[in-house]
Amino acid sequence: MNFIDEALLEARAGNGGAGCTSFRREKFIPKGGPDGGDGGRGGNIILRVDPNLNTLVNFRNQKYLVAKNGKAGSGKKKTGQDADDLIVMVPKGTMVFDIVSNKVIYDCCEDGKDYLIAKGGEGGAGNFRFKSSTNQAPRRHMQGWSGDELSIRLELRSLADVGLVGFPNAGKSTFLSHVSAAKPKIGDYPFTTLRPNLGTVQIYDSSFIIADIPGLIKGASDGAGLGLNFLKHISRTGHLLILLDPQSMDMQVEEQLTVLLKELKTYDSSLLDKDIWIVLNKIDTLDSDSEGKLIKIIESTIQSIDLKSKGVVSISGFTGNNVNNLLGLIANEMNIKEA
């Protein structure tokens, strides 16, 4: 299934049905009064979370959400039928924006909850509503009210406890596949991961979710590479693991760390307020002296940029070396304790 995390839609709620002008005409009742009924209500447009969905692919070819109009009223004070609401299922973590103001309308995170996007118009009044002591035979009714119309943007943001941050080929997918049952695509070329992958880590008698977010490059906060497609998913996570690659031919580990933190800060400075662990990955390719030197360089870089990190941890996502220690540190920070 294709992963689509954004959709632009026009939402049009149903119009209310028109009221009716009618008069009571029955045998032996020569002066029947007005009995035109009210129109029915137009259909609402409602979003509802479906926990089984993980993409907005259903909106790939859908540009309009249109609810039905209410039925018109009729004689004998019969109210027109209300239109059915249009209920649209979306994945958990879908944010709804008003395109015009760019303001958040809803953050759809509760299973089964209805999120009213566009309200249907009320039905118009029938002529019996206008009867009075001075107007015994009103010949007027009202048309139904128009339903809401608005342009919206749906944006799916991953819901995870921990986000993996790193340049392409930093080993994020390998790490995720080692600590969980997730099977992300793994390869020795840039941008192997083109969509967030979620994995559940079982630890002690509990669990937490890790998101392997698509790798970023320098300038991602300005849209370079996968750009904002990556960064918006990071905003949901409570904790961050910044994976550094000692085998990179393009950047030393200290430059990797500096650039990654700059991109996070440029996109949203509050991201640096999260619990952050700096992880030196691929230590299976290093000897102990080289590992020790790199850790000192990373610690010195952290001090120079005044980052409040939870510390530096060296691991091998490939062999699993020291991975359990890292998971234990994360679990402890999340108050997950060993029974």
- Residues 296 and 324 grouped into a single domain: yes
Contact by Cβ (8 Å): 120, 12: no
Number of domains in the chain: 2
Closest CA to 2 of 55, 38, 45: 55
Half-sphere exposure (CA, 13 Å, Cβ side) for 194? 7
Query: The domain that contains 191 carries what CATH number?
Result: 3.40.50.300
- Whole-prediction pTM: 0.68
Answer yes or no: do 142 and 185 share one domain. Answer: no
Compute the distance between CA of residue 75 and CA of residue 288 in angstroms, rounded to an integer.
90
pLDDT digits (tens, 9 = 90+) for 148-183: 999 999 988 777 789 888 888 888 888 988 888 655
Whether 16 and 127 share a structural domain: yes
Q: What is the residue range of 202's domain?
A: 162-333
- Per-residue DSSP letter, 34: B
Q: Is residue 338 part of a domain?
A: no
Does some domain include residue 237? Answer: yes
* Whether 129 and 199 share a structural domain: no
Tens digit of pLDDT for each residue in 11-24? 999 999 999 999 98
Do the domain assignments include residue 172?
yes
Give the angle subtended at the CA of 142 by the CAs of 139 and 143, to the nearest 5°.
135
What tens digit of pLDDT does each residue of 242-259 get? 999 999 888 899 999 998
Q: In what order do the strands lie in the sheet with 64-66?
A: 64-66, 6-12, 149-156, 94-98, 104-108
What is the tens place of the pLDDT at every residue in 37-80? 999 999 999 999 998 887 788 888 889 999 999 999 999 999 99
129 and 172 housed in the same domain: no
Give the residue from 112, 131, 156 where a domain finishes. Answer: 156
Has residue 339 been placed in a domain? no
**pLDDT the model gives residue 140:** 92
- Give dist(CA 170, CA 152) in Å, integer: 36
- Considering the domain architecture, whether residues 106 and 209 belong to the same structural domain is answered as no
Give me the pLDDT at residue 38, please: 97
Residue 223 and residue 274 in one domain: yes
Find the CATH number of the domain harbouring 104. Answer: 2.70.210.12
| Domain end point (choices 91, 126, 156) | 156
Please check whether residues 145 and 173 belong to one and the same domain.
Answer: no
Average pLDDT, the chain: 85
Is residue 34 domain-shared with residue 128, that is, in the same domain?
A: yes
Domain end position, chosen among 156, 184, 208: 156
